[in-house]
Amino acid sequence: FTYGSLVATLILMIPVVLSQLACEAFMYIWRIDLNVNSLPIAAAGAGVGVDYGIYHFSRMIDAFDEGRNIEAAVDYATATTGKAIIFTATTMVAGTIFWWFSALKFQAEMGLLLALLMLFNTFGGLVIVPAWVKILNPRFLTERRRGVERVPERLAVG
């Protein structure tokens, strides 16, 4: 538990799961097979995509620890880290989207899928993660503020 909470893990996993489902729907619509060759693209997309949520979430926690309330911490993190996330995602997508123009069908499909996964995960990291933090108002954040000593039983419930 990097953040000491199961709730934090769930908040970060929601956009990754939604991105994967959206990508699988796209694969179904475009008749792209899920096979041993395309499966690593899904894993790579999830691995890269979860980073955007982690960047944003970490900055939210830093802003919260600096004394801001949850609303202000989320807004501050979005205003600062959001720019870096968009720059990073744009660079990553730009590097893979051109595979779409490849004459090799597999390379074209996988380039497009990887670019889509990164776009979906960027949206998740910038919109879904902060929305869930504002909605849930996670207890582990308020406990950080109060300086409550954490014990293993409390870590398990978030």
- Going by the DSSP 8-state scheme, the letter that residue 53 receives in this structure is H
- Per the domain annotation, does 62 fall within a domain? yes
Q: What is the pLDDT of residue 35?
A: 82
- Per the domain annotation, does 20 fall within a domain? yes
State the average pLDDT over residues 73-77. 95
> Helix H segments across 98-151?
105-123, 129-136, 139-146
Q: Which amino acid is residue 69, in one-letter code?
A: N
Which of 154, 125, 137, 147 lies closest to 13 in space, CA to CA? Answer: 125
Integer CA distances (angstroms), 92 to 37, 44, 79, 96, 121, in order = 21, 12, 21, 7, 12
Q: What is the CATH number of the domain that holds 52?
A: 1.20.1640.10
Mean model confidence pLDDT for the chain = 85
- pLDDT tens-digit map of 9-66: 899 999 999 998 998 898 899 888 888 878 888 778 778 778 899 999 999 999 998 8
Q: Where are the beta strands (DSSP E) in 26-103?
A: none
d(CA 115, CA 56): 20
- pLDDT tens-digit map of 113-131: 889 999 999 999 999 999 9
- Per the domain annotation, does 157 fall within a domain? no
d(CA 9, CA 36): 28
- Per the domain annotation, does 63 fall within a domain? yes
Number of domain units in the chain: 1
| pLDDT interval class at 4 (50, 70, 90) | confident
- pLDDT tens-digit map of 93-104: 998 889 889 999
Range of the domain at 20: 6-144
